[in-house]
A and B are shown apart, each in its own frame.
With several copies, the nearest count.
Chain A
């Protein structure tokens, strides 16, 4: 077994320096992860050996491309505990979440026939989201509500930045969809999925899980979790940019009308009308991000080999270090649970009287890459009474030395802007 100390060596970018020769301390994995050489190499090999249109050619390279593409689907399905045909490739998690929302819209507009009637929304139907959501799992539902006359309701967060179980009662009779995050990219809080799924099921609502952060940092099993739909992005899980996936329970994808339409997802096309293929093809219109799916295959292989459990344990230790260190700086307020339990290695925080831009700039000058802003989650920032924050987020390649460098840098920031 590779020790975690060795892992960083697998990531070529981490060897670079920044700002005039400073060692890079990359703490922006929550935004996008770096990629191990194995992933880049798998993509390169595909591009130099087997690149061709999939599901289309009779020639050898097309056969190889098709096999690589579908093998990637099988690997990703297994990685998240889904069946092969339950995984639809998308360009990112955002597209996957939109795909579900537009599936409901299209059904509401009469597409998809009798089977799709289950997805029709009527004015006054309710869609429940949470205050913790990334904009990707909020705005598509606002839009769907506005177009269908459905009403958007939400579960509030606690002072610690977790979903407030008392708020689950907004899920009621008229609730048709419950969309919620598995892990917050701001507070790091990991959601206890079971009670939400249970409550949604008891009122006959569909569940949509934003697994963007969780699939990247925790072992996950979608069948076990029992959600109806889930979305995640390759680039957060060591895979290339440009690829993500939608999970949908087999019988739901079967019944859902397509969203993007075009080549490779049709059966018979006349000028007048078109019949569609079964899922997952029905949702994969046009030439797909084939090389990137191959990269994602290599990424989940890499993660599986390291072991998601070990990775989660390593990151848990980093979370503790980070939270302990931050707690020692009086000017710092962490936006999220103070304890590392059920929490990702993500720490968003406010520095009293210092704007996040300024915090990030000075850290950057030390080679420490963090993110500043609202991290695509304005509502949860508003809930904490701030507008923006600085966020340090770790990955499998992050070391304790990285966290210590960050904490030392942050103390210098406070000193610079507040001290003197």
Chain B
């Protein structure tokens, strides 16, 4: 494998795409969102239950490539139990990373991204950015729904 591919498919991405954290439906979601990537037909459904201003429970289902699955899995690992504000901040940061065309963000931001920093290489491939972001679009929607729905 070339170094470009090794940078893209870092071990943490491959691992998460196989061992998907948080995969499954919630019992009584307060908010949920279904998103499709029309280019490939990949889909995901993200469900949340709030606990005050926290993401009490976060679950997801769907199908997609290793990038999209790992992104959802890491999202679950990093955000379940965390505050909505933290979720929004992390989402913003991840979107920023995805539009950085493969460049790293400032060290402090990169640190804040934790495992998500493994996606730095994805941003070099315009067609894959949507894969990485699909779950995060769904999360944002699901939270809004849970808050106002």
**Chain B residues in 8 Å Cβ range of A67:** 126
B4 close to A356 (CB less than 8 A): no
**Chain B residues in 8 Å Cβ range of A387:** 41-42, 63
Q: Which of A63, A266, A268, A357 contacts B131 (CB 8 A)?
A: A357
Q: Which of A55, A268, A355, A378 contacts B39 (CB 8 A)?
A: A55
**Chain A residues in 8 Å Cβ range of B128:** 58, 357, 361
**B67: CB under 8 A from chain A?**
yes
Give CA–CA (A62, B14) in the complex, Å.
25
B4 close to A19 (CB less than 8 A): yes
**Chain B residues in 8 Å Cβ range of A55:** 39
Interface string of A46-89 (1 = CB under 8 A from B): 00000000011110001100110000000000000000000000
Q: How far is the CB of A415 from chain B (nearest CB, A)?
A: 9
Interface string of B1-30 (1 = CB under 8 A from A): 110110011000010000000000000000
Known contacts being A19-B4, A267-B36, A362-B5, is A357 close to B65, with CB within 8 Å? yes
A277 close to B41 (CB less than 8 A): no
B127 close to A63 (CB less than 8 A): yes
**Chain B residues in 8 Å Cβ range of A388:** 40-42
Interface string of B120-144 (1 = CB under 8 A from A): 0000011110010000000000000
Dominant SS among interface residues on chain B: mixed
Known contacts being A62-B127, A63-B125, A66-B126, is A358 close to B65, with CB within 8 Å? yes
**B110: CB under 8 A from chain A?**
no
Contacts of A77-120 to chain B: CB distance below 8 A: none
**A373: CB under 8 A from chain B?**
yes
Give CA–CA (A62, B127) in the complex, Å.
9
Count A interface residues, CB 8 Å.
33
Contacts of B47-93 to chain A: CB distance below 8 A: 63-67, 69
Known contacts being A365-B4, A374-B41, is A358 close to B126, with CB within 8 Å? no
**A372: CB under 8 A from chain B?**
yes
Interface string of A363-398 (1 = CB under 8 A from B): 001100000111000100100000110000000000
Q: How far is the CB of B12 from chain A (nearest CB, A)?
A: 15
A267 close to B131 (CB less than 8 A): no
Interface string of A261-301 (1 = CB under 8 A from B): 00000111000000001000100000000000000000000
Give CA–CA (A358, B66) in the complex, Å.
7
**Chain B residues in 8 Å Cβ range of A268:** 36, 41
Q: Which of A20, A56, A355, A412 contacts B1 (CB 8 A)?
A: A412
Interface string of A240-272 (1 = CB under 8 A from B): 000000000000000000000000001110000
Q: How far is the CB of B110 from chain A (nearest CB, A)?
A: 23
**Chain A residues in 8 Å Cβ range of B107:** none
Extra inter-chain contacts (4) besides given A357-B42, A358-B67, A374-B40, CB under 8 Å:
A277-B38, A362-B5, A381-B41, A416-B5
Interface set of B (CB-CB < 8 Å, partner A): 1-2, 4-5, 8-9, 14, 36, 38-42, 63-67, 69, 125-128, 131
Interface set of A (CB-CB < 8 Å, partner B): 19-20, 55-58, 62-63, 66-67, 266-268, 277, 281, 355-358, 361-362, 365-366, 372-374, 378, 381, 387-388, 412, 416-417
